Amino acid sequence: MCACHVPDHTVSFMRRIFRSSAKRLPVWSRGMFLAVVLSGCVADSYRDAPRAPDQAWHPADAPAGASDFSVARNPEALGKGTDVRVNATYNLAQLIDLAQKSNPSTRIAWEHARQAALAVGMVEASFLPVLTGNIIGGWSEVVTPLPDLEGRTRNLTTTVSGAQANLALQWLVFDFGERQAWREAAKQNALAANVGFNGTHQALIYAVTQAYYRYDLAVTSVRLAEQALRNSREVKSAADARMRNGTGTKIEVAQAKQLAAQAKLRRVQTEDARLDAYQELIGAVGVSPRSQIRIVSVANQRLPAASAMPTDRIIETALARRPDVLASYAAVKASKANERAADAAFLPKVYLSGVAASNQSGFQVDNLPDIGAMSSSTGVFVGISIPIYDGGIRSSSRKRAQSQTAAARAGLEQTRQTATREIVIASDNLRSALEAYSAASELKAAANLTYDAAFDAYRNGLGTITDVTIADTGLLEARQAQADAHAAALVAAASLAFSLGAMTSSAAPGLASQ
């Protein structure tokens, strides 16, 4: 069926021409005429594309007069998101379980692993014979003009028809290990895909964990901003009281109002940051951005103890179980197998083939009786194929396989170095975060004493509003620094667990238990 669009009047005109000339043209001329007509269908293929770079595209059934760049709504493209319990409360382990079930990345990795497994089966199928059934039928009519005794020309029609059915067997018996090499490469690729599937889950656990701790930090920041707002309102109340008692000034009242306004603005900003962190967490889980759930806080979660730099033995153990390292190692082995297959392509191949056929044919000349015959045949053949010359294709394939092996080895070494560096950096970050949390805790204790003393002195007429403002700002910064250090320590602990290949489930070492 022609895919082109030809106006109706053009089709009618072409049909009349074809019908009027069909009787006068030979059969082969009619076929050529039809081929020429059909070849013009390609000329109108651009009708489905935009007319110009500055003109909007619209389908053929679009309303007349449409000129903007909008597209038609298609409800089927919406799909169905993961169902989440409305206003339910989730802790970290529950969020990880939800992510592993709903995040599209896990399904993509799963399908890749299944495709790699199917590739192994396809290679293994090449060890088996191939059996095909074929049926060929045909009919041929030959018209031969012959002059008779009276000088007139008569047509002699000869008709030949027949059908053949056969079963054909093809079996590659021996190929000097080429298929074994392909199978080994496919198995290593399947292993890499399976390891990558587990690695996808580990990376997902880590991503959810990071987003979870960042969201909890955002919630803590909101709570600290609310506490600072309450403190500023207490300072404002004290300034108003001093003003009524005649011991305060308008400047103090204005400064107190400014302090309250700044605290209110900070409260709005931290709430906006909390909403962004919530969407980041929901995105890491892989559920709808419109989902509304409650998250268990880990503000009081105990931090891990400071650990020494990982030893070489610990690093080697971690490298031996990291998915990225194992996948890179599998890629090296697959490349080596491909190299062996390229070498085997230079060697002969032994084939076994067989055929069982049945043939039925008929022959007729004008009105004479039909002549028919039926025959059958069977046979088994053994052949050897010896490659002699192919223009350098096999040599280029072998060189490419060798290059791929070298690149895979370099990639494995690069992956090992990167993984080792990640372990060392994660260990350093955890130690620094724990030290920062200890220092921030001392700072917070000192800032609390300073603020309490400054506020009591001001309320009793012994201090200034400036001292209170400075103390309030210092207290907020100290509390925020402690919260930042706490969250950073939790993230660093998760990073270290992930870099060591230990973050394998919602209850894996390095995750904060709820």
Q: HEC string of 408-444? A: HHHHHHHHHHHHHHHHHHHHHHHHHHHHHHHHHHHHH
Inter-residue contact 163 to 340 (CB < 8 Å): no
CATH for 104-128+176-346+391-499, among 3.30.1490.20, 3.40.50.300, 3.40.640.10, 1.20.1600.10? Answer: 1.20.1600.10
> Which pLDDT score is estimated for 509?
43
Q: What is the mean pLDDT of the chain?
A: 84
> Which pLDDT score is estimated for 282?
92
Which residues of the chain are modeled with pLDDT < 50? Answer: 1-3, 23, 509, 511-514
Q: For residue 103, give both structure tokens.
A: 């995040």
- Structure letter (DSSP) for residue 184: H
> Which pLDDT score is estimated for 8?
56
User: What are 197-237's pLDDT values in tens digits?
Assistant: 999 999 999 999 999 999 999 999 999 899 888 888 888 88
User: What are 404-436's pLDDT values in tens digits?
Assistant: 999 999 999 999 999 999 999 999 999 999 999
Residue 426: closest CA among 372, 508, 502: 502
Say if residue 174 is exposed, middle or buried (CB neighbours under 10 Å; 0-12, 13-18, 19+).
Answer: middle
